[in-house]
Chain A
Amino acid sequence: MIEQSTTRRLMMQFAAPVGAVVLSIVMSAFILMIAGSNPATAYGDMLSHAFKLETSVSMINRATPLYISGVAAAIGFKMNIFNIGVEGQYRMAAIFAAYVGGAIALPGILHIGLILVVAMMVGGAWAGIAGALNTERGVNIVISTIMLNGIALGIIAWLVRSWQAEGEIVVVGVGTEPIDDSGLIPNLNFIPEIFGDIRSEELTGVLVIALVVGVAYHVLLNRTVFGYDLRSSGLNPFAARAGGVPPKRMIMVAMLMSGAVGGLVGIAEIMDKARYDPNFVGFLGFNGISVALLGRNHPAGIAVGALLWAFLDASSDILQVTGAAPKEIVDIMRGVILLSAVIGYEIVRRIRVRDEAAQAAARLAEVAA
């Protein structure tokens, strides 16, 4: 009986996300038919593209910063803090880290280490502003992080302008000073090359950082007193406070940590381009929120979410090439997946609550009898 309930618990865990993906495939098929495309062809193109080795590598490259971003958001979510500001945090972190990395040359590991530390410090500081505003002045973190996103983009736009020559707008070949090779994390091409030719793709070395971040997140959350404090604050701040968890300090530390991890989101792009340029990739912060929601803030769940999002990204590219369907179908799929997953999780939660209450009641009756 116990085993049965464990299986049931496990199955319920996966019911919502799997159901969400299936629902989105079905709904998108209808939409594709209405739009006059053949869903079978479109889905076929997406899948056959994804299973090419070079596409797989490219998907992992796309998933890597998304994963880090998802973990950054999840740290806040675990404490019921909605840090919408990863977007601004990673961009500020990226431009400063790239600047410092380009200005200073150090031997190998130190150079990389410096870039990472600067990114984490800037990201943490930017998030810390929102944290301090909340604990000292009671400013809502959602509002302040949204504002800080705007301010970050403004500052960056202003810095980018200073690279432009008088009177003309150039976006190619400008940016921060290039970072020497010593500051660039080497690629991991040796792994996919075991399986075959990956053409011009390179597997990003930042994947290692993402894995470290994931493991550290898991250990911190589940194996440390701090993680326990963080989770209990998120579940019931009043009980946590009566249990000795200082609420303000937890908010501040959670924001600093979320921001520090968020600061690492842009590293993959920096390593790829060896600089911060005006075309720096955007929306990783917002997509990280989606990925964290989809993955239920679980380190493995976020990884699955990040890979799914990366797959849809890659699909969007190939649909444009083959013309089997408009690429916007990918955004529709994402929306449907996210919405139905969130609803699904809530349904599953309610069923679980009911199940457990029934079990406990049954146990009571057993003992009484």
Chain B
Amino acid sequence: MALAIELSGITKRFPGVVANDDVNLAVEAGEIHAICGENGAGKSTLMKILYGMQLADEGEMKVNGKTVSFASPGEAIDAGIGMVHQHFMLAPQLTVLENVILGAEPMMRGGRIDVAEAKTHLHEVGDAYGLTIDPDDLVETLEVGEKQRVEIIKVLYRGARILILDEPTAVLVPDEVDELFRNMRDLKAAGTTILFIDHKLEEVLAIADSITVLRQGKTVATVKPEDVSTGDLAELMVGSELPTPETTESTVTDEVALIVTGLTLLDEDHRPAVDDVSVRVHRGEVVGVAGVEGNGQTELVNAIIGTQATAAGSITLLGADITHESVRHRREAGIGYIPQDRHHEGLLLEAPLWENAALGHQTKAPFSSGLWFNRAGARARTEEIREQFDVRTPDIDVSAHALSGGNQQKLIVGREMSASPEVLIAAHPTRGIDVGAQAAVWDEIRHARSAGMATLLISADLDELIGLSDTIVVMYKGRLVAEVDPATITPRELGSYMTGAALDNEVDS
């Protein structure tokens, strides 16, 4: 059969990271091809290259047998490739029809839009692919699944024959997933090639004709669903060897520092993002939270820090109920926070380092006394952090954005650790930083742990999770689905829990 897409030797480097490393991919015309992999495996980068949003550094790309190179999504669209992003790009106050033709309006003479022509064409597309939707409905009134259908129609309307779907099921409830899969089968029947990203393995096995697994930027294997189980896939994704945990002595005490009980949080669509989660962290203990990103980890962190309201459940810090306390109260009571995105929640990029060092601790010494901010104290502490945590900077008066990512992270870690927190919430504490800085951050956490700090560690990096944690809990679809021992866990088990594959097995057994 003819190949719709053929990628060979695709390599894409970012400063410090190789996102795609000699990736090879062959997609046959008219098939549904799934791309699986953990976060950071390089799936999104690969799709961006294919859709013309990024240029590959090396490698060859063929579409329908012809060698191509896309400098923009416009060129990819011209070649018949369409992409549906995970986050919809629709104008809610416009109708379905208006959204579909936006940017590709059929014009009549005099610059008016040919609405009749647009409607006819929309119906043709809908009929050809079995996608039904009322063109006059306002998009804001549609359900999530219907909005997704509008996105797909939008792409087909522009003549796409190869469809890229980026995690299409992430936002859907089970009924909507079934509907989407029906649509995908219809599209396939009509001759469309579909390439989709997913890491829910049971879904992948249910719908895909072929599956390609990426790990750490490399293509690991391309398999047929009939030949593999979810367990096999999970092992391919995670790798056959897990890092061995550091054989440091356990410092876990009996004293519970942080108790989360029955915590539930709702997202914008009033669906539970965190669903009845309970976890305890003892003094001297690191509890790792494993899971594919987007399974409620961010919301769990927000709830503990206090930036997002809870729907149910309670949070207890050192014996005191803090469920309804302000962020400031929690920080003053001893919660340290390393946010997952340092630019978003961690730094004042335009402010000098010594002001950044005070953030989150501005109500305490040495940064203030009473209502007065203590500049000298803040500067002295910043110099200490710079010294102790090896923040490479010309001086402490430069703005935070002048530092490299690793040094910014060291500043944040230094800021939090030098305040000697009782409980540290660390979300991806070493994401995007170089190996040296990473080791320094790990050492700091280990050191503070032995001094009695309780840590909740959220990470997508298995080395980090297994190397640092005393206990690992796995989060899937907002729930804690397993508690495992990092010393004995196998990749297959961890992968199964993270991708939800283990849940089905449990039902079976």
Q: Point out residues on A near B: beta carbons under 8 Å.
A: 2, 222-229, 231-232, 235-236, 238-246, 352-353, 356-357, 359-364, 367
Q: Which bracket fits the contact residues of B?
A: 35 or more
Contacts of B407 in A (CB 8 A): 360, 364
| B337 interface contact, C-beta 8 A | yes
Contacts of B347 in A (CB 8 A): 236, 239
* Of the residues B307, B329, B346, B362, contact of A228 by C-beta under 8 Å: B362
Q: With A239-B347, A239-B348, A242-B305 as given contacts, are A224 and B358 in contact (CB-CB < 8 Å)?
A: no
* Of the residues A222, A223, A229, contact of B362 by C-beta under 8 Å: A229
How far is B342's CA from A238's CA once the two chains are assembled, in angstroms? 11
Task: Please determine whether A360 and B363 come into contact, CB atoms closer than 8 angstroms.
Answer: no
Interface flags, B307-327, vs A, CB<8A=1, else 0 = 100000000000000000011
How far is B344's CA from A223's CA once the two chains are assembled, in angstroms? 26
Contacts of B114 in A (CB 8 A): none
Task: Please determine whether A225 and B363 come into contact, CB atoms closer than 8 angstroms.
Answer: yes
Known: A238-B345, A352-B399, A360-B407. 13 other contacts (CB 8 A): A224-B371, A227-B373, A236-B349, A239-B344, A242-B307, A243-B361, A244-B330, A244-B331, A360-B393, A360-B394, A360-B398, A361-B404, A367-B392
Task: Please determine whether B371 and A225 come into contact, CB atoms closer than 8 angstroms.
Answer: yes
Contacts of B337 in A (CB 8 A): 242
How far is B326's CA from A357's CA once the two chains are assembled, in angstroms? 36
CB distance from A294 to the nearest CB of B (A): 20
| B402 interface contact, C-beta 8 A | yes
- Please, which residue of chain B has its CB at the minimum distance from the CB of A358? B402
- Contacts across chains A and B counted by CB atoms under 8 Å: 112
How far is B305's CA from A246's CA once the two chains are assembled, in angstroms? 13
Task: Please determine whether B346 and A239 come into contact, CB atoms closer than 8 angstroms.
Answer: yes
Task: Please determine whether B327 and A357 come into contact, CB atoms closer than 8 angstroms.
Answer: no
How far is B404's CA from A357's CA once the two chains are assembled, in angstroms? 8
Task: Please determine whether A242 and B371 come into contact, CB atoms closer than 8 angstroms.
Answer: no
Task: Show 11 A/B contacts (Cβ-Cβ < 8 Å), sorted by A.
Answer: A222-B373, A223-B372, A228-B373, A231-B351, A235-B348, A236-B344, A239-B348, A239-B359, A246-B327, A352-B399, A356-B394
| B443 interface contact, C-beta 8 A | no
- Please, which residue of chain A has its CB at the minimum distance from the CB of B349? A236
* Of the residues B327, B351, B363, B398, contact of A242 by C-beta under 8 Å: B327
CB distance from B419 to the nearest CB of A (A): 12
- Please, which residue of chain A has its CB at the minimum distance from the CB of B301? A242
Contacts of A225 in B (CB 8 A): 362-363, 368, 371-373
Contacts of A361 in B (CB 8 A): 404
How far is B401's CA from A224's CA once the two chains are assembled, in angstroms? 24
Task: Please determine whether B327 and A244 come into contact, CB atoms closer than 8 angstroms.
Answer: yes
CB distance from B379 to the nearest CB of A (A): 13
| B339 interface contact, C-beta 8 A | yes
Among all A-B residue pairs, the 3 with the closest Cβ atoms:
A244-B328, A356-B402, A243-B360
Contacts of A242 in B (CB 8 A): 305, 307, 327, 337, 339, 345-346, 360
| B484 interface contact, C-beta 8 A | no
| B209 interface contact, C-beta 8 A | no
Interface flags, B388-421, vs A, CB<8A=1, else 0 = 0000111100110111100100000000000000
How far is B331's CA from A232's CA once the two chains are assembled, in angstroms? 16
- Please, which residue of chain B has its CB at the minimum distance from the CB of A226? B371
How far is B339's CA from A229's CA once the two chains are assembled, in angstroms? 19
Contacts of A228 in B (CB 8 A): 355, 358, 362, 368, 373
Task: Please determine whether B392 and A353 come into contact, CB atoms closer than 8 angstroms.
Answer: no
* Of the residues A224, A231, A362, contact of B372 by C-beta under 8 Å: A224
Task: Please determine whether A235 and B350 come into contact, CB atoms closer than 8 angstroms.
Answer: yes
| B332 interface contact, C-beta 8 A | yes
Give the residue among B330, B344, B348 with the most A Cβ atoms within 10 A: B348
CB distance from B358 to the nearest CB of A (A): 7
CB distance from A8 to the nearest CB of B (A): 13
Task: Please determine whether B362 and A243 come into contact, CB atoms closer than 8 angstroms.
Answer: yes
Contacts of B362 in A (CB 8 A): 225, 228-229, 232, 243-244
CB distance from B440 to the nearest CB of A (A): 14
How far is B327's CA from A229's CA once the two chains are assembled, in angstroms? 13
Contacts of B307 in A (CB 8 A): 241-242
How far is B368's CA from A183's CA once the two chains are assembled, in angstroms? 40
How far is B346's CA from A223's CA once the two chains are assembled, in angstroms? 22
Contacts of B305 in A (CB 8 A): 242
Task: Please determine whether A243 and B359 come into contact, CB atoms closer than 8 angstroms.
Answer: yes
How far is B329's CA from A232's CA once the two chains are assembled, in angstroms? 18
Task: Please determine whether B404 and A246 come into contact, CB atoms closer than 8 angstroms.
Answer: no
Task: Please determine whether A360 and B349 come into contact, CB atoms closer than 8 angstroms.
Answer: no
Task: Please determine whether B351 and A232 come into contact, CB atoms closer than 8 angstroms.
Answer: yes
How far is B360's CA from A236's CA once the two chains are assembled, in angstroms? 13
CB distance from A286 to the nearest CB of B (A): 27
Contacts of A240 in B (CB 8 A): 348, 359
How far is B419's CA from A206's CA once the two chains are assembled, in angstroms? 46
Q: With A2-B395, A364-B392 as given contacts, are A244 and B351 in contact (CB-CB < 8 Å)?
A: no
* Of the residues A222, A229, A359, contact of B394 by C-beta under 8 Å: A359
Contacts of A360 in B (CB 8 A): 392-394, 398, 402-404, 407
Q: Which B175-194 residues have a C-beta within 8 angstroms of A?
A: none
How far is B401's CA from A227's CA once the two chains are assembled, in angstroms? 22
Contacts of A243 in B (CB 8 A): 327, 331, 359-362
- Please, which residue of chain B has its CB at the minimum distance from the CB of A236? B348
Contacts of A245 in B (CB 8 A): 327-328
How far is B188's CA from A124's CA once the two chains are assembled, in angstroms? 64
CB distance from A242 to the nearest CB of B (A): 4
Task: Please determine whether A239 and B326 come into contact, CB atoms closer than 8 angstroms.
Answer: no
* Of the residues B345, B373, B393, contact of A223 by C-beta under 8 Å: B373
CB distance from A298 to the nearest CB of B (A): 15
How far is B328's CA from A226's CA once the two chains are assembled, in angstroms? 13
Give the residue among A222, A244, A356, A361 with the most B Cβ atoms within 10 A: A244
CB distance from A115 to the nearest CB of B (A): 28
How far is B326's CA from A239's CA once the two chains are assembled, in angstroms? 15
- Please, which residue of chain A has its CB at the minimum distance from the CB of B327? A244
